[in-house]
Amino acid sequence: MQPLRPLTGGFVNDVYGFEIDNAPAEWARRLVLRLYPDGTDSKLIRRERCAQDVVSAQGVPAPRVLLCEDTAGALGRPFMVMERLPGRPQMVIEFPGLLAHAPRL
């Protein structure tokens, strides 16, 4: 396995990129590990996973969730492992437009 590489764009989660050597086909790609803060409500994590799955299933270029643990189990914190797709976080794309509305907000 390649070492975890911190990624930018995680506003609430710690986000890392990684790859697994000699992985099965489903996992033989660039991946993202999203670690949630301690105490995150498991319902919120399941809701986020569901949203990712639904959006991806609609053909939108959104990463699929490969593994989700909504409690502090194997890694000591809740987490998701997802595909890593090219692009940038949505907030980065929308940020200039958001600034135009800052006085109103």
Residue 91 lies in a domain: yes
Domain hosting residue 86, numbered range: 5-100
Mean pLDDT over each residue of the chain, to the nearest integer = 84
Q: What pLDDT, on a 0 to 100 scale, did the predictor assign at position 56?
A: 87
The answer to whether the CB of 36 falls within 8 A of the CB of 12 is: yes
Residue 48 lies in a domain: yes
pLDDT in tens, 66-85: 999 999 989 999 999 999 98
CATH of the domain at 52: 3.30.200.20
- The H or E element containing residue 91 is helix 90-100
The answer to whether the CB of 10 falls within 8 A of the CB of 34 is: yes
Residue 105 lies in a domain: no
Residue 69 lies in a domain: yes
Sheet of 79-83, strands arranged across: 5-6, 14-18, 31-35, 79-83, 65-69
If one counts the domains in the chain, the total is 1
pTM (whole model) above 0.85: no
